[in-house]
Chain A
Amino acid sequence: MNPNQTSDTGQTSRETNTQDPVTSPPPPQYYSAQRDQISGGVIAVAPISRADAVRLRKAGIDIVVCGIYEGENRRLAKEIESEANDTPIHCYEHRKTNQSRALPHFHPIRRHPKGHCFYETNTLKVVQKP
């Protein structure tokens, strides 16, 4: 687009650029996780590094990837599970009530080691630690 060209909203691209400084969203964060027995949701326990996330998944401990973008969260969750264990499979949530906060996840196709690599979606987020 020409810098002085008027957009659909009536702004030039130059105006748009000056008014909307580029702000990068916070990158996804990794947390060790626990299942919440009441809501079926996932509790983010403590922030961890990516390397720790892989290590915990190798040990069969739940982790969760939290972030704004569902697609990015899913890609990272799959990467971690692939790195930690054998062929990961993707299970989406199976909610039976609107109160359920279950998150989609990856885990090894043979379920060994145990645990899940959860991720947040656009609408389903981790629940607060009670």
Chain B
Amino acid sequence: MNFFTPDLYVRLNSADDVVVDKAAKEWSNANEAYIKHLDQLFVKLPPNVKAVAFFDQFHDAKILSQRYVASSRVYWRSEHEDPMPMVEHFEIVAKNADSLLFLTYVLQPRNKERRPVLQHIRHEREGSVAFPFLVGETYWLYDEMTINPEWAEWYRAVLDFENKVQPQLEHRILLSDGAELVIDFMDVFFTVLPLKVVCENFDEVYG
């Protein structure tokens, strides 16, 4: 996380009021900086990615499942007719106060020279998950959307695809168990399904 860092979140939960005051100011500044960052991205993002980037009801959504899906389906082909590497997907299903949230990311093609396209980074202290993080049920805390400059450079250098592909996107999600998901993706499909549509008393039936 570049704006809403785990360290800052930990300090917001300090027992020392002075530390919390300072962290709250830092957090407000980080939030202002993130809003500016999103404003700058606004014109560059496809509408479906924008819908994810600006969705403001992820916070505290319960993560029901995370699933990696490999697929041999060719998502798009280069004009050079080179066969594209296998396309992979990553799916998240979450539930907030009144909706089910379905996110399906089309991951970047793997490349040995690049970092993994899906990372699960643990933020641990002294070998264990420390307060305010807690292992067990996992909740969505904060997320950051950005265009990954490294990927843009890679496409320019290797495939000469500038302006011919979707922006190379990165979504970072900080979870309540202290893990940070880093998802390098080309595209995302996002569906919000009101719980009332699924079941009138969803929480009673499904817990």
Contacts and interface: CB of A to CB of B under 8 A. Distances in A.
Given A90-B13, A96-B53, A96-B56, A110 B134 contact: yes
Interface residues of B, number: 30
B80 to A, nearest CB: 38
Given A92-B28, A94-B4, A94-B142, 18 more contacts: A40-B57, A91-B60, A91-B141, A92-B12, A92-B27, A95-B56, A96-B55, A96-B56, A97-B35, A100-B56, A102-B56, A104-B24, A107-B60, A109-B131, A109-B132, A110-B137, A111-B137, A114-B97
A3 interface: no
B139 interface: yes
- Dominant secondary structure at the A interface: loop
A98 B56 contact: no
Interface string A97-120: 110101010010111001000000
B31 interface: yes
Interface string A4-30: 000000000000000000000000000
Interface of B: 4, 12-13, 17, 20-21, 24, 27-28, 31, 34-35, 38, 53-57, 59-60, 62, 97, 131-132, 134, 136-137, 139, 141-142
Contacts of B131: 87, 89, 109
Nearest to B142: A94
Given A35-B97, A71-B21, A89-B13, A96 B136 contact: no
What 3 pairs between A and B have smallest CB-CB spacing? A89-B132, A92-B27, A40-B56
A97 B39 CA distance: 8
A111 B62 contact: yes
Interface residues of A, number: 27
25 contacts: A35-B97, A40-B56, A40-B57, A74-B20, A91-B12, A91-B60, A91-B141, A92-B12, A92-B24, A93-B31, A94-B31, A94-B56, A94-B59, A94-B142, A95-B56, A96-B35, A96-B38, A97-B54, A102-B56, A110-B136, A110-B137, A111-B62, A111-B139, A121-B28, A123-B28
B17 to A, nearest CB: 7
Contact of B17 (A75, A95, A111, A123): A75
Interface in A63-93: 70-71, 74-75, 87, 89-93
Contacts of B134: 109-110
A96 B34 CA distance: 7
Contacts of A96: 34-35, 38, 53-56
B65 to A, nearest CB: 17
B166 to A, nearest CB: 21
Nearest to A100: B56
B11 to A, nearest CB: 10
Contacts of B34: 96
Contacts of A93: 31
Contact of A111 (B27, B31, B60, B142): B60
B20 A95 contact: no
A46 to B, nearest CB: 20
Nearest to B26: A92
